[in-house]
Amino acid sequence: AIGMGALSAYLVLYNASCMLGWASALVLAVQSLLATGGDLTQVWAATGLMLQVSQWAMCLEIVHAATGMVRSPVVTVFLQVMSRLVLVVVCLLSPASSASWWCGMMAVSWSLVEVPRYAFYLNGLLGPGGQAGTLYPVFWLRYSLFGILYPTGISGELGTMISALSDPAFLKQHWAVVALLKTVLASYVPGSPFLYMNMVWNRKAAFKKRFAPPPPKPQAPVGAEFPMDGKGGRSTSEVGKKVFAAALAGAGTPEGDKASAACAKERNWRFGYDKHIVKVARLGCTSPEAARGTAEAGLRWMHEHMLFHSADQKLQGPFGATVDKVKDTFHTGTVKGTGKAAGDYKVPYDGGWHPSRPHPPPADAVLSGASLKDQAIQWSEGGIIEPDAAEALCWTSDYFASGKSLSDCHVVMIGAGSAMGPFPKLLEMGATVVAIDIPGSWGKGGARPTSSLWKRLCAVAKASPGSLVFPLSKPQAECGSEQDLHEASGCDLMKQPGEIANWLVAWQKSLPPGAKVIIGNYTYLDGELHVKLALCADYVIQRLRKARPSCGVAFLCTPTDIHVRTDASDAAARSNYGAGLGSMGVELLAHALSGGSWLVKNFDAPVPSSDGKEIKLVDGLSVAQGPNYALAKRMQHWRAQLEFEAGAVVSSMVAPSTATLSVIHNKTFAWAYGGMPYFKYELFKQETTNAVMAAMLMHDLLNAASPKNPANRAKFQIDNSLELFRTQAVHGGLWRSPYKLGTIGIPCALIYFGGLLRPYLAALSAVTGVSYLYLTLA
């Protein structure tokens, strides 16, 4: 093809050669069958040499997959090719098997499968590409012939192996050769059905993709959007690389410049992003200036290079500057609660979550007063939360026990309906909550209208001693019913960040100068939407903070991130490493057998800081969560750092791993959670996390002596803004666990299943023991 690269030209030559080789073998097989009246026993003799050459040429497919020349799983390709080669060698070593009709059926089946397969690949290289670009006869043969040829081919392979194992000539070979063939034969029992069903699934997916209706015409983007990548798309990976490269360069050091260049060149961002985030954190720890510089550069890049389009397309351009031009706003809705003051602060708790205890705490399982403070101390002593988090929880309990409330506190919640947010506890303790969440008009008339969210929020507010404030698309007086009010409530954060910010700036003017105000981001969506939400929330927070400098900021830090930790938690992780079964080498053995991917130590070399400190970090990053999630959470870190430096109270601390419905519905996570207590974790139930983290927020908002107040930096030795995150951590045991969170998933699942099998193993041991005694004494 004109303009074809060297790699494409090579692949065309390779696939064309293989197709011709297998076609020649097929022609020879057909000629043999016609000449012998359909005698399959003569096929191998007729096709053997051509078939062998074609099959050995398939070894190059392993090289193609291993070097990335084609996108195929290396292990799968290796197993498929090697299983074929084993049979070729068997036929050479066993004359009886090569002269069987099983071998002939195998050879014909292979040839009939491979000719259309290589034709399919060749068509993909020379044709328009994609499923729809492949000639339909070639496409149909590629995904349909297996229905007959896989059973005949597999049957032929099984028969050939069995014939060889009955052939005295083959049995004279080295015992390892015979054992290998028996192993391969045994693997066909579980492997064959899986292989066949895998092709069935592939066929279904291929036909669905080929005959899928054409995608709708692209519409003009509205709201926050990723920039074009120069290839006709909007690559989130390119944005991720560029923003972290900018952050690294923002450190203003030669090391940062070198790391920035390496980040920009990362080829596998999806699975290689984590090391660059670790570098951002470690580089930021080297000096307060580096920490501030990385945060400023990262957020600046996002606001200057992400894009924004208004719904009418009249406003288009760089996100920050374009949203600043928005002039519209919302009307204000209010719901005043009529409930009684709650009195003591209450935390629902009946022990940590486990698959054997999946239900929410019962109504009478509540901690308050002395029992709450005792549990806080117990959590602290058990390494589940840090001591200063226990102190904050006790302070909050004492505050409300004295008869006080949150009546003068105003909390702006971006994502008020979030499962992990403090909405109900804030209202229960008398706060005014300013709720930002999705429009209630979405899904109107459908099975799941979003108005139900606002119905729930309003109902909670009415039953509480607090108040609810929220944006409306029309005046509250014009809402003819509660349903009408719920449908008019809410806003679209990704499309209306300017309107939301304008509304909040106007709202805060109605408050007394001394009113306590804090704004928190509790939003979450999957993938790239999380990044867009984080950017829009960041804009809103920045605008409100500029209009009201006394306003605080709040975030929930995920445990699956990298944070500065306390010296005590670092020492505990080092002490716990190798304890328990680890003292017998079991855990080190698991680490070795997994190629170093299981049970990696949960501590690294400290970072020397310019002020003489050695800053300790805990790396809880989970690559599986993806780079978009990591970027969104890092943006929250950066905003927290900058606002703390600017003088704001920043209630941002690590929250524990929590058994929310979205998590435990994934059986893999549920199994892993079941084994985590062995590694000194406690999994919190959602109700417990909500109450505990709300207590942390209230403490930071009310207690002027909190470490989250920048006026107390010297007292708590927070010289670097990243050290903010080592205070009041409710990490659930992660910081003091001996092994990194991302490396204990499979061991945790195995431990959980081992626990389930324990009674059965005990019973089996008992039966075996009794049987042994009976046979011995009889």
Q: Which of 533, 531, 727, 693 has the alpha carbon at shortest distance from 625? A: 531
Q: Between the CA of residue 130 and those of 120, 141, 209, what are the distances in Å?
A: 11, 16, 9
Question: Which residues are paired to 367 by β-bridges?
Answer: 347
In the residue annotation, 157 being an active-site residue is answered as yes
CA distances from 534 to 176, 210, 408, 543 (A): 60, 36, 28, 14
Which residue out of 61, 114, 157, 225 is catalytically annotated? Answer: 157
Strands 467-472 and 516-521: unpaired
CB 236 within 8 A of CB 269: no
Please indicate whether residue 266 is annotated as part of the active site. Answer: no
Using a CB cutoff of 8 Å and minimum separation of 24, what contacts does 349-354 make? 349/375, 349/685, 349/688, 350/685, 352/677, 352/682, 352/683, 352/684, 352/685, 353/658, 353/659, 353/664, 353/673, 353/683, 353/684, 353/685, 354/673, 354/674, 354/677, 354/683
Burial of 392 (0-12, 13-18, 19+ CB in 10 A): buried
Name the residue with tokens 């605008």: 543
How far are the Cα atoms of 311, 628, 759, 762, 772 from residue 765, in angstroms, in the given order? 70, 50, 10, 5, 10
Rounded Cα distance between 643 and 649, Å, is: 8
DSSP 105: H
Q: Which one from 10, 150, 188, 196 is the annotated catalytic residue? A: 150
Q: Could you tell me if residue 580 is left (phi over 0), alpha (psi between -120 and 50 degrees) or otherwise beta?
A: left
* Paired residues of 563 in beta bridges: 618
Residue among 216, 279, 308 nearest 495 (CA):
308
- Strands 331-336, 346-348: pairing is unpaired
- C-alpha–C-alpha distance, residues 39 and 32, integer Å: 8
At 704, give phi and psi (nearest 5°).
Answer: -65, -15
Number of Cβ within a 10 Å radius of residue 128: 9
Contact, 706 vs 700, CB < 8 A? yes
| Rounded CA separation 365/381 (Å) | 22
Instruction: Give the C-alpha distances (Å, rounded to integers) separating 32 from 26, 44, 108, 116, 153.
Output: 10, 9, 11, 21, 18
Alpha helices in 230-339 (DSSP H): 236-249, 254-264, 269-284, 288-305, 319-323
Of 464, 336, 492, 469, nearest in space to 410 by CA:
469
Task: Give the residue carrying structure tokens 């990723």.
Answer: 226
Residues 108 and 31 sit within 8 Å (Cβ to Cβ): no
Taking CB atoms within 8 Å and a gap of at least 24, the contacts of 577-584 are 577/601, 577/602, 577/603, 577/738, 577/739, 578/738, 579/738, 580/678, 582/738
Length of the chain: 778
Q: What are the helix (H) ranges across 310-386? A: 319-323, 369-381
Rounded distance between C-alpha atoms, residue 323 and residue 305, angstroms = 13
Q: Which residues are catalytic?
A: 150, 157
